[in-house]
Structure formats: C-alpha cells, structure tokens
Chains A and B, each alone.
Chain A
Amino acid sequence: MSTRTLNFTGRQRILRNDISLVLSAEHNGLRLRGAVRLGELASLGGHVVVELYRQSTRERMECGEASSEVTVNAAYPTLHAPHALLCDVKLVARSGDLQGQILAAARGIRPDLDEGLGGRQGLLPFEPRPLGQLLWRLELGDEQPVVLVNEAIEDWNGFVRNPLFTVTVMPAIAEGALRWTWERRQDFDSEPSDVLSGWAEVFRDLGIDVSARAEAGDTLDDLTADLSEAFGKRHRFLDKWNDIVTGGGEQ
C-alpha cells in the first residue's frame, strides 16, 4: 500500500537489524526460521506475527508471545516460490481495549534465503514469465522492482548474467529503480521498507542522495541524468562493450 505512513498512535519500530530471518524450502511450502529481538519492546506485551507476502498472496504465522527474543520457526504452506517474498513483522496486542492494535512493526523485510535456495537475496529479483516477444520488462510493484524475464529464453538465468545484458539493459533498470525510489521518497521520514532503504543506499553510493536532493528541490530528471553518468562510470559500460565486441571481455 503506497499510503504515506501517519503514526499518531505511539506505534514503535522494530529495527531491521534486530530481525534475522532465513527462508528455506520444504516439501510442502516454505519455512522461515530465525529470531526477532524485541529487547525493551517486549514490555509492551502482545504477540509476534510474521507475514510473508508477494504481489498476490500473503500468509501470516503466529510466532509467540512478546519476549526479549522471539524465536521464529514457521511454515508457510501456500507459498512455494521463494524469490521476491517480503515480510512484515508485527507486535500485536491481543486483549483488552487495544486488541488488534499494532504495538510495534517492521515492514518490507527481505528474508535471507538458505543455501539450498541460493543464499542472500539480491535487491533486484529476476522472475521468469511468459512475455510474448519481449525479452524482459521491469515491473515497479508496490513492494519492490522486479525484472521479469521471458521464460521462453533458453537458459534465462544465463541470459541475465550475460555481459551484453548488463551493459545494455542494466542502465535502464537502474533508472526504473530510481523512479521507484523517488516516488516513495516521503517514506524515508517514517517507515522505509528494507528494499526502499536498500535502493536508497545504492543510489547514495553512486553519489545521489534521493531524500536530500528532493528536499533541495531537484527533480527526478536531474537525478536521472546524474545516475546515468555515475552508473556508467562506475561500471565502465563503454570499456565492457568494447571488450565484448573485440573478444577481450569475459564473455
């Protein structure tokens, strides 16, 4: 939901550094293991719920009463594809007048994937899809940008790792991700998701502080121009291209 967060209720934030979650595949669905360290937030009471979701599906699991460290070991039987999944972690009041009130929360957390699923999740998931005659398309969803790759491409995984793909397509994907980040710039003041924070960090690393530039009155066009230049320099696209066409590259 892209509504700006308004917090009039004293809802606390569970810091993402206090959440460690690893997703693994099981015969029937997925399992999330790890811990939510509530520390002093445990004194608020309530119980911890972890919701795992993607565009069309959300599944939630109870993970126990509030304590300084809540162990998470929850099965999610309706979710099977592990990539592009995010978590909301909520501490929810269970009784009294406050029943159902969210006492503390962390939204848009990316769980790590266990070794069997390929390890840590990247910021930019790639998903195979039927795309007709299109090779790829960037989907700027509510939760995160996702690169859809035509599933009919033989070895689509190899296709997206091909240096030709990197030098010709990644600049456009980076611009799309910048637009996605820019459109959520107000969230930096409240509860940025893991993914939003991650992308902001990527752009900051390239010398583009989205939040500061927005406050300074710059436009998305200004940032996009700077991104193109910085991204090209950082990844030496011209050199890579010349390496590829002259056979000196890693292809």
Chain B
Amino acid sequence: MKLRKFNAHGLDSMRDCLDRARQGEPLDFTQSIEDPDLTEIIDSTLEISYRAFHSRLAAGRFFNQVVGPIGPDADRDVGMWSWLSAVWAPSLAPEGKSVGRDYRWILEPANHQTYYRHLLAFPTLMVKTHGGDESVLSSILAGPLYAPGEINEQLGSVQEIAGCRSLLEAATALYVKPDTGEVRRGAASKGPGSARRLREVIGQFVLTWDFYEMDAVQVLAMLPPEFERFGAK
C-alpha cells in the first residue's frame, strides 16, 4: 500500500480505537488505514507493507530507510508515525498484550517525557542518529517492539545520553551479552550498576564532561565501582 499519514480525523479515530481496545474490544485499524477521509498519501511513489521484525533495531533500520526520502522533518510527523503504528498494530500489541498509553502509538514530538516512548519513531530516530550500529544501539533498543523496557526508559529519557554514541556504546557493553544479544540480569533493576543508576551518574557527569569527545572505553573507565559487576573497569 502507499505510505500515508493520518489527518486530524484519523488521529481522533485512532484514539477512539485505542480506547476501545483498553475496554476489551479487539484492536483493529484495518478500516481506517486506507480510508481517504482519515488519511492522506504522503508520496505516491512510496510503497510499504507490513512485515514482522526480530528486533527494535531491525525495525529502526527498516523505517529509517522508508522515511528517509520524505525529508528531514519526517521524524516529527505525527500523522505518519501514527499511521505506521496502526499498520504495525499486530507487532505493537500482539495478542494478550495491552495497547498501553496513546503516546506509544501517537507521536508527541514536542513532549520530552513521551517522544522516546513511541514504539516506532524512537527506534528510527536512534538509527538515524547513530547509523544502525549494533554495538551502539543494542542496549537502548533492546526488547521486543511492543515492550521497549527499562533501558529504553532510562537512557531514552535523557537526550544527552540518547544522542551520544560513546554513552550508548558503553551502555551496550555493560548491559548486553555480546554472544546472544540478551540483556544481562540486573540491568533493568533499581540496584547498583543498573541502567537507572547509569542515568543518574551520567546526569551528574555531563555537567563536567563532554562525552562526545570520548570513546566507550574512556566512559567505562570513569564509572564508579558499582558498575564493575557489569564489566566496567
């Protein structure tokens, strides 16, 4: 199908649909995603069709390729990201999983507390920013598409971390097993050395250090001993 975006009526319809899903009705956007009253075609040359992704990183790479030709403001296009979320609903709310809050589906680009929680736009923004490198993004883009998880929550909420390659690469070295790509036990906890603690520690360090000037090894060397349980030294 052609790449579209929801108009204001389409966004209203999407919110209604999400509300109904929260009340137990099946989530179904099939009637709305090609409705000319609710959507408009962005570019008649751009075709897109649903496919499943094995990771959020793979999804980010795919959507970065798809929306790249649209232009630099694509990452803030509320109607387009909402429409894409509707098309990808089977992956974003698989059977038995709740739809969650609206901002997971309807992008809020001006809201610093929610933009990084959009299930498709944020992985894409990360790939656009960092180039889709696994050694950088495997931590912040860990987890399935429908459940970004604690590392995304902690690191994505601070733009100075999410935008900094060396910090994300350090986080990946700490929290992701290189052989399996799984998140290490304790990374998502509230305990010492966790992603939550990394956010807090970095939050103080960025006042003094410019991490863009460093590589991940230098970052890891700066961390306090509580991170040694994840391999920092």
Query: Which residues of B, 1-56, contact A by the 8 Å Cβ criterion?
Result: 8, 11-12, 15
- Chain A nearest Cβ from B220, distance in angstroms: 13
Q: Which residues of A contact B129 (CB under 8 A)?
A: 57
- Neighbouring B residues of A11 by C-beta, 8 Å: 207-208
Q: Is the CB of B110 within 8 A of A90?
A: no
Residues of A within 8 A of B8 (CB): 130, 132, 151-152
A246 part of interface (Cβ distance < 8 Å):
no
Select which of A29, A78, A100 is within 8 A of B209 by beta carbon.
A100
Taking chain B's interface residues, is the majority helix, strand, or loop, or is none over half, making it mixed? helix
B112 neighbours in A (Cβ, 8 Å): 55-56, 141-143
B207: A residues at CB distance < 8 A:
3, 5-7, 11, 102
A102 CA / B210 CA spacing, docked (Å): 6
Q: Total interface residues on A, using CB and 8 Å?
A: 44
Asked if A49 CB lies within 8 Å of chain B CBs, one says yes
Chain B CB within 8 A of A94 CB? yes
By the criterion CB–CB under 8 Å, are A132 and B11 in contact?
yes
Residue of B nearest to A58 (CB): B163
**Interfacial chain B residues near A8, Cβ < 8 Å:** 208
Asked if A100 and B76 make an inter-chain contact with CB atoms under 8 angstroms apart, the answer reads no
B74 vs chain A, min Cβ distance (A): 10
Cα–Cα, bound, A78→B72 (Å) = 6
Task: Tell me if A56 and B213 are in contact (CB < 8 A).
Answer: no
Interface residues of B in 109-166 (CB under 8 A from A): 109-112, 115-116, 125, 128-129, 158-160, 163
Q: Which of A6, A99, A130 contacts B204 (CB 8 A)?
A: A6
- Choose from A6, A133, A142 the contact partner of B12 (Cβ within 8 Å): A133
Whether A81 touches B115, Cβ cut-off 8 Å, given contacts A55-B159, A127-B110, A129-B110, is: no
The proximity string for A residues 12-56 relative to B, scoring 1 for CB distances below 8 Å and 0 otherwise, is 000000000000000011000000000000000000010001011
Give every chain A residue within 8 A of B110 (Cβ-Cβ).
Answer: 55, 84, 127, 129, 139, 141, 146, 148
- List of A residues within 8 angstroms of B115 by Cβ: 55-56
User: Which residue of A8, A53, A102 has the most chain B CB atoms within 10 A of its CB atom?
Assistant: A102
Instruction: Give the nearest-CB partner of A151 in chain B.
Output: B8
Binary contact readout A134-170 vs B (1 if CB under 8 angstroms, 0 otherwise): 0000010111001010011000000000000000000
Residue of B nearest to A143 (CB): B112
Q: List B contacts of A211 (CB < 8 A).
A: none
Number of interface residues of B (CB under 8 A): 35
Given the interface pairs A56-B125, A130-B11, the reply to whether A102 lies near B208 with Cβ below 8 Å is: yes
Inter-chain contact A58/B160, CB cutoff 8 Å: yes
Interface residues of A in 50-81 (CB under 8 A from B): 53, 55-58, 60, 77-81
> Are B213 and A99 touching (Cβ within 8 A)?
yes
Contacts of B72 in A (CB 8 A): 28-29, 77-80
A121 within 8 A of B: no
Q: Quick one: CB contact mask for A191-210 with B, threshold 8 Å, 1 for yes?
A: 00000000000000000000
Does any Cβ of B come within 8 Å of A85's Cβ?
no
Given A49-B210, A132-B11, A141-B110, CB of A100 within 8 Å of CB of B218: yes
Between A101, A130, A141, A148, the greatest number of chain B beta carbons within 10 A of the residue's beta carbon is seen for: A130
Which chain B positions have C-beta within 8 A of A130? 8, 11, 78-79
Taken together as a complex, chains A and B put the C-alpha atoms of A79 and B71 apart, in Å, by: 11
Question: Which B residue sits closest to A81, measured CB to CB?
Answer: B73
Docked complex Cα distance between A142 and B158 (Å): 10
A-B residue pairs in contact (CB < 8 Å), sample of 17: A1-B158, A1-B160, A3-B207, A55-B110, A57-B75, A57-B125, A57-B159, A57-B163, A58-B160, A58-B163, A77-B72, A81-B73, A99-B213, A100-B211, A127-B110, A132-B11, A132-B12
* Other contacts beyond A100-B209, A151-B8: 19, CB < 8 A: A6-B204, A8-B208, A28-B72, A55-B109, A56-B76, A56-B109, A56-B125, A58-B159, A58-B160, A77-B72, A81-B73, A84-B110, A92-B213, A99-B213, A102-B207, A102-B209, A129-B109, A130-B11, A141-B110
**Closest 10 pairs (CB-CB, A-B):** A100-B213, A55-B112, A58-B163, A152-B8, A92-B210, A3-B203, A100-B214, A56-B115, A141-B112, A80-B72
